[in-house]
Structure formats: C-alpha cells, structure tokens
Amino acid sequence: MSYERPILSRYLDPVELIWLATAQRLGLTVRRDPAIFSRTDGSGMLWLGPRDDLDADDTVAQMLFHEICHWITNGVETFHEEDWGFPLDDADDPREFACLRVQAALADRYGLRGMFGPTGKYRAYFDQIPSDPFDPIDASAAEAEIVTITRAVWPRVDRPPFAPHVDAALAATAAVRDTVRPFLEQYATEFDDDGLPSLWSR
C-alpha cells in the first residue's frame, strides 16, 4: 500500500522550546545564519549560527540566555542597537564581563550555573567567578569596574521587560532538570566512544 505519512508537528527539546518562547515574550525573533555566530540588528531579530557549529555542551537555551544577559547589562534601550551596543572589536569591554556575572547570578537562583555558562573564550572568565558573583576575582582596577557595573545593572533583572519572563524560563529549566535527574545514573549515549556525561549532571 502506498502511503506517505503527513508531518503535522515538529519535536523540540523542551528546554529549547522554553527559551525560544521566552525570546518571543521579550520581543526577539530567532533565526539561523551560517555566516555568523550571533548578531542582533536593533529590530528585534536575533541571528544564531547553525546547530552544527555548536560544541557538545552548547545549547540554544544557553545562547539565548547569554544574549538576554547582554541586553540586561547594556540597558533596555539597547534593544534598538546592533549587538546591544557592543563594539565587537573591543574584547576587553567591561560590560562583557559584567554580563557574565549577571548570567552567573541569575543562573544561581535555580542552581543552573553549571549548565548556563557561555561558549567560547569567555568561559575562562566565567569559570573563575566566585560563588558570590558580586565578589571580585582579584584586587585589580579592571575587576573593580566590572563588579561596579554588575551591581549597578543587577536590579534590572527584576523589572520589565525581563521580569517575569527570564525567571519563569529559568524555573521551567530547573523543573526539567529535576525531572531527568532520576534517570542520569542509567544514562548511556547512543554514540560509540562518547564518554561525555549528560549536561544535566552539571
């Protein structure tokens, strides 16, 4: 019998669905572009690179969370600026590192810091952030400036447009984590020679 099954829906990882919906709630439209890693143009469009470019421990949720933390750090008005107003050729902009601290502090509310670190070279800084994300790593002037910025922008996380949507997404992500935890001990990858544990174990 000839039969072509109709495709009536698309499966998404639940956490990816949560964060794509959160992007929409915040007025962001996510699209893919193989020519870039991530980019905003000030119109509400947020482009991410293709899934195949992600490392094994990268997720769409993590990338969207990082971009939202950029927006929080740089200010609500930077929604209308390209790349949240960051000069992309300035790798030492203290707002980049303040963003990482906002990211850590928000993730800590739900015990998700291990899952929601940034990708790329900034992970080295993120992994040095103390358990209190408002404490400096050292006594340098640069760290003092980064911490000052972090403390100044932190109240924004509990104001619109970010509240209540970012907290709701983090809470939902934590609920998924709690659901899968009982299965982690028996988790086995379907790929040969893959010794990596599940990201959920973090």
Of 119, 138, 142, 140, which is closest to residue 128 (Cα–Cα)? 138
Burial of 90 (0-12, 13-18, 19+ CB in 10 A): exposed
Q: What is the pLDDT of residue 137?
A: 97
Structure tokens at 28: 């962001």
Q: What is the pLDDT of residue 30?
A: 95
Q: What is the pLDDT of residue 54?
A: 76
The answer to whether 182 and 166 are in contact (CB under 8 A) is no
Q: Tell me the sheet residues that pair with 187.
A: none
Distance in angstroms (rounded) separating the CA atoms of residues 102 and 134: 9
Chain mean position to CA 180:
20
The list of the chain residues with pLDDT below 50 reads none
Phi, psi for 78 (deg, rounded to 5): -75, 0
Q: What is the pLDDT of residue 90?
A: 58
Residue ranges per domain, the chain?
14-51+58-179
The predicted model scores a pTM of 0.92
Of 166, 179, 163, which is closest to residue 61 (Cα–Cα)? 166
Which residue shows structure tokens 């379907």? 190
Distance in angstroms (rounded) separating the CA atoms of residues 144 and 18: 35
Q: What is the pLDDT of residue 80?
A: 95
Long-range pairs for 191-198: beta carbons < 8 A, 24 or more residues apart: 196/56, 196/57
Q: In the chain, at which residue ranges do the beta strands (DSSP E only) sit?
A: 29-32, 38-40, 45-48
What type of residue sits at position 82?
E
Distance in angstroms (rounded) separating the CA atoms of residues 71 and 26: 11
